Structure 1
Amino acid sequence: MKKSRILGIAVGATLAMGLSASAFATDGYQLIGIGQYAMGMAGAVVAAPDDPLSAAMSNPAGLALLTPQAAFSAEIFNPTRKTNFGFGETGSHSNVYGVPAIGWVAPAFGDGIVFGGGVYGTSGLGVNYIQSGVNGPAYNMRGNPPSPGFAPGTINAYSSITFMQMAPSLAMKVNSHLAVGASLNISAEQGSFVQSFTPNNNAFFAQQSPAYYVGGGLNLASPSWAYGVGATLGVLYKVNDMVTLGATYKTPIIFTPMTWQESGEVGPGNVQGGSGQYSGHLNYPQQIALGLAIRPIPQWLISVEGQWINWHATMNNFTIYGPWAGQSSVALPMHWTNQWVANIGTQYDLTNWLQVRAGYTYGSNPISNADTASNLLFPAVVQNAITFGATQKLGMGWKLTEAYMHAFANTITGPAGSSPFYGNQAPSATLAENSYGLQVGYDF
């Protein structure tokens, strides 16, 4: 009997696997900001970049206004994730992630032109759910032919996608009002995911049952690397000493495919997959951001920003190509919509060595309640976050920056009967987040 037949499972009828992208911040699975200045300002830095990290990532034109300097940021990201596969709520087993970043800026190629950039962890999402003691879909292999049914067992649901980016940048101060810049976004992503059901046949054998059950599902657990490239274009315009305007456009980042070598898979609709290579593209979306920075007085900065992220182009469906029976690919429907994000941040210079800041960000939810079951491994559903931060100028060019972010818990709940494992409860996903960061900077 072919293994693809043995792995046949009723999970497929409504299985809509999530990829994962270690649950980073509010904007889908994208960090609110890179570095602790940007985080303390709730990401509202397109019109007010202040260090190499916030400039190279959010608006490379800001590099042209900076003195030669370098910055290193380390962040502890702590998401809380819960889901209901239809058998009661369960929590994720992984909840602490590290997010490093390093950036620099220095003069280059003549007066008014600078070279800068950085290397960052830019985004990600992930869960690790194990729920035992449930009755899930499986095949009774003692039947002739094997018949679908239900058996006690364990749900395994795991996802991890991490994005890293290097962004060499050039910027130029055109005149006293205008600065422009561009970054080349050289990126790498690593992805793996599992959503499967494993029957506990020991329970049947202990009762001397003649039944033997086999489960299955998608199991692309081996981490796979992919590489991509895109660009960011930015502009800053200083209207006067009080008002500055900023704008950026980020092109899509087009990645090579992630690949997995597997002995067999089961896709949505119980589509059988044989032994061989499976692959899929996960590109990063294009984005547009507009910002306004105002200084009512020299020591007080207020920055607001609006952002559009084209998630629908990259997260509507994830298509897996491979040796599927009767077809070359299957589509896993996530159905993300485009996201609108509004950020506001403020900073005040209390003394000539101490700055304090705070911010708020709102992002529309790209995942609807109707698509909950398709995104249980993609719980990118938080919408509201607050941030706080401070910088101490220590002298001799050194400065220390700290930030804290809290994203308030949000839950989406799907319609009854849509559980991917046929549970009798409605599927749901909940996400809340905290992050704690420290950054060291040095002015040359």
Structure 2
Amino acid sequence: MKNLFTFLLLFCCVPWVFSQAGHIMQGVGSVNMSMGGAATAQPLDISGALHWNPASITAFDQNQIRLDIGLFFSSPELRSTVPEFDSNGQPTGNFFSGRTEDDRGLSPLPALAYVIGSEASKHHWGFSAFGISGFGVTFPESASNPINMPQNMGGFGRIESDYSLLQLGVAYAYELSDQWSVGIQPTFNYASLELIPNPTANPTGAGYPSTDKASAFGFGGQIGVFFDSGSGFKAGTSYKTTQIFGAFELDNTYLDGSQSTNEFTIDYPAIWSVGLGYSLGQIDLALDYRLVNYENTEGFDATGWSPTFSVAGFGWDNISVISAGLQYKRFPKVPIRLGYTYSSNPISSETAFFNIPATAIIKNAFQLGIGIEAGSHLQIDGVFHYGFSGDATSGPVYNPQFIGNFPPYGAIPGSEVSYEMTTSMIMFGAQYKW
């Protein structure tokens, strides 16, 4: 049983730090979030424009600065079922099942943007600092769930992780004509990661180790095209390249006090976005489609066990994201916004075990926002977000010792692991223009 639980727990603290729409925030800032993240062709604020299509910052003919702060809360739930074995290692026909709820608190989500623009100039510049991914999980020790059983009972006990990613961008956009604009934006990234335990390290007789917080730097870029007919219809497309990171250098400490070091690389996937927008009188509409290329991203492309029983990768599929938003300006100084976001699930039943507990895979998200124009220069915005994962992600529990009888990963007959969750967030922001 102890060996079984050791392998069962292999991935229990990694993937949650990678998850929202996949592990990508659906929007940036309170205005963009309230529109479901749609902004590729409908630049209502500078944060959404800089994040999804740098060419669209030509829509802003004044210098503007914007700051948003959000508080993100999630309530994931992890379930597992494993067969019980007798002293000879044979199944008894009984099963042990349980569930654990996360007890982590609020996580901050910052966004800062600045655009330099003028109606008299075809050149526009933008600068941004966005927290585009930052999550963690804390599942307490529990004797009623196989995954969270105390260590002296063969489980792991408390499961905890922390991950954050900050992206800096410098954008340049040029107006080719009154209708067409192009833009380019190099991006620079900083990420930190802490794992308890660390399944990317080789296990010893003392099991898998815990790590200290490690950091890594990455870089990439984005290009975009924006079309504004001048009569209400807008269109745009952008491509954000893979954000290539250096390896996390993880310092490991095993339960017996021994130490080791290993490296693990996690890149940020390439994203292609295409969008439509329409503005007429009191209504602004926005619709975006995104393709997130996980299948060609290091850290997500491979899956399964390494020869030493460490993780080979997460095995995520590419995902599609649809964002839609509506802004209603019946009261010109108090716009009201509604947004919806749909995301497909990158985790199949075959790889569910290798992604315990990637519970922030949000299938449906709804947003309600409001703005207040406090004078000719200042605007204040707020948004409330609620999301849920839809059907639970589930699959069999794997054990490398079973690979000979149940290839390729060693599925344990009758076992299952599943997870689902809801998320909520409140965010406020202010924009000043001159």
Sort the TM-score into its range (normalised by shorter chain): 0.7 to 0.9
Aligned-pair identity (%): 21
Instruction: Give the Cα separation in 2 of the matches to 1:231 and 1:412.
Output: 35
Change beyond 3 A, Cα 1:30–1:135: closer
Which protein is richer in strand relative to its size? Answer: 1
C-alpha displacement at 1:81, in angstroms?
0.7
2:295 is the counterpart of 1:312? yes
The 8 Å contact of residues 209 and 253 in structure 2, kept in 1 or not, is answered as no
Q: Select which of 336, 357, 371 maps to 1:356.
A: 336
1:62 to 45, 53, 56: 56
Uncovered stretches (5+) of structure 2, i.e. residues with no partner: 82-96, 401-410
User: Secondary structure at 2:157's aligned position in 1?
Assistant: strand
Q: Give the aligned partner of residue 425 of structure 2.
A: 435
1:277 aligns with 2:261: yes
Contact 2:207 2:254 in 1 (8 A): no
Instruction: Check whether the contact 1:281–1:319 (CA below 8 A) recurs between aligned residues.
Output: no
Equivalence for 2:375 = 395
- For normalisation by structure 2, the TM-score amounts to 0.82
Q: Quick check: 1:301 aligned with 2:303?
A: no
- The amino acid of 1:342's aligned partner reads I
Distance in 2 (CA, whole Å) between partners of 1:69 and 1:85 is 50
2:114 aligned partner: 104
State the AA in 1 paired with 2:261: Q
Matching residue within 171, 175, 186 for 2:173:
171
How far apart are the structure 2 equivalents of 1:196 and 1:348? 48
Q: Is the 8 A contact 2:17 2:358 kept in 1?
A: no
Query: Equivalent residue for 1:84?
Result: 79
Unaligned runs of 5+ in 1: 1-7, 138-148, 198-213, 267-273
Does the alignment pair 1:28 with 2:48? no
Contact 1:373–1:419 (8 Å) recurs in 2: no
**Can you list the C-alpha shifts for 1:134-188, whole angstroms capped at 9, x where unaligned?**
5969xxxxxxxxxxx9936652322221111111111112210011111111101
Deviations 1:242-291 (A, max 9, x none): 2110101000000011012225599xxxxxxx843211100000010000
Larger radius of gyration: 1
SS of alignment partner, residue 58 of structure 2: helix
Pairs within 5 Å for 1:258-269: 258-264=248-254
Following the alignment from structure 2 to structure 1, what is the Cα–Cα distance between the partners of residues 146 and 17?
27
1:104-125 superposed Cα distances (whole Å, 9 cap, x missing partner):
11149x9211211211110133
- The residue that corresponds to 2:209 in the other structure is 219
State how far apart, in whole Å, the 1-side matches of 2:190 and 2:110 are: 15
**C-alpha distance in structure 1 between counterparts of 2:135 and 2:303, whole Å:** 15
Superposition map of 1:149-164 within 5 A = 151=153, 154-164=156-166
Q: How many equivalent residue pairs?
A: 396
Aligned-partner Cα distance in 1 for 2:206–2:387: 35
- How far apart, in 1, do the equivalents of 2:114 and 2:290 lie? 25
CA contact (8 A) 2:98 2:144 kept: no
**Shift in Å at residue 332 of structure 1?**
3.6
1:73–1:437 Cα contact (<8 Å) kept? yes
Deviates more, 1:183-192 or 1:82-91: 82-91
Alpha-carbon spacing, 1:419–1:427, altered in 2? closer, same or farther (3 Å): farther
Q: 1:11: how far off?
A: 4.3
C-alpha deviation, 1:330, in angstroms: 3.9
Q: CA deviation at 1:436?
A: 0.6
- After TM superposition, the score normalised by the length of structure 1 is 0.81
Cα distance in 2, alignment partners of residues 305 and 62 from structure 1: 14
SS at match of 2:350: helix
Q: Which runs of 4+ in 1 moved over 6 A?
A: 419-424
Match of 1:386 in 2: 366
**What's the CA shift for 1:425?**
5.7
Q: Which amino acid in the other structure matches residue 376 of structure 1?
A: I
1:234 aligns with 2:228: no
CA contact (8 A) 1:411 1:429 kept: no
Residue 120 (structure 1) aligned with residue 105 (structure 2): no
Match of 2:321 in 1: 341
| Change over 3 Å in CA distance of 1:37–1:179 after alignment to 2 | same
CA apart distance, 1:434: 0.7
In 2: Cα distance, 1:119 partner to 1:136 partner: 41
The code of the aligned residue for 2:192 comes to: Q
The CA deviation string for residues 181-224 of structure 1, in whole angstroms up to 9 with x for no partner, is 11111101111222489xxxxxxxxxxxxxxxx98443343110
- Give distance in 1, aligned partners of 2:294 and 2:74: 21
